Chains A and B, each alone.
Chain A
């Protein structure tokens, strides 16, 4: 079935390095994509979003890239800090549908 998923369950990154978290989606009709960060014991927190008519969007220390040709989404975190340790979910809102569909998540582990 159509779904949003992630390539790696765990990513370990040295503090100060850049992190890249990848996501593959299969619903070509999806119009809107979101990255969420979830820390232990908390609900998902919005990081950045991107619409299907864009291929790149930048925020503070984060960049989201969308490649519609291969249905691939990525989140880049610059100068990774200990506070970035969390599980990151990509999510999509399919066209004409209001619910957010989450992938399984990638745990980002920061090495000292």
Chain B
């Protein structure tokens, strides 16, 4: 596809369940970002990859959050033992250069923890 694709579009998880969110960036894009967006708030940075290297994970809220991009393309954000406060939209973005390239966002995965 032409844009950033995220799946699933919606996810309902029971508290304590593990979830995995997938991001397919635009082909060839070097940089990949994950953001968390709570209802009525702006996106909050979680982590950033340049190719397969995770250069910044300072925004991950706890050690229950883990992200990977093993081959420098598709990325997975995993949340272990989900809690209600993890409910949010998780956005993925990619860009073709570091720093100031235009970042293209996917539609996000809406996670609801019940």
Contact = CB atoms under 8 A, between A and B. Distances in A.
Q: Do A and B bind each other?
A: yes
Interface of A: 31-32, 34, 41-46, 49, 51, 89, 93, 98-105
Contact of B93 (A42, A43, A101, A103): A43
A32 B91 CA distance: 21
Nearest to A107: B40
Contacts of B105: 43-45
B103 A46 contact: yes
Contacts of B1: none
Contact of B56 (A93, A98, A103, A104): A98
Contact of A102 (B43, B55, B104, B108): B43
A43 B45 contact: no
Contacts of A101: 45
Contacts of A31: 100
A42 B89 CA distance: 10
Contacts of A93: 99-100
B57 to A, nearest CB: 11
B106 interface: yes
The 8 closest A-B CB pairs, nearest first, are A43-B105, A102-B42, A32-B100, A99-B45, A102-B43, A44-B105, A104-B42, A105-B42
A42 B102 CA distance: 17
A76 B45 CA distance: 26
Nearest to B102: A46
Nearest to A5: B42
A51 B93 CA distance: 21
B31 A98 contact: yes
A89 B37 CA distance: 12
A54 B40 CA distance: 31
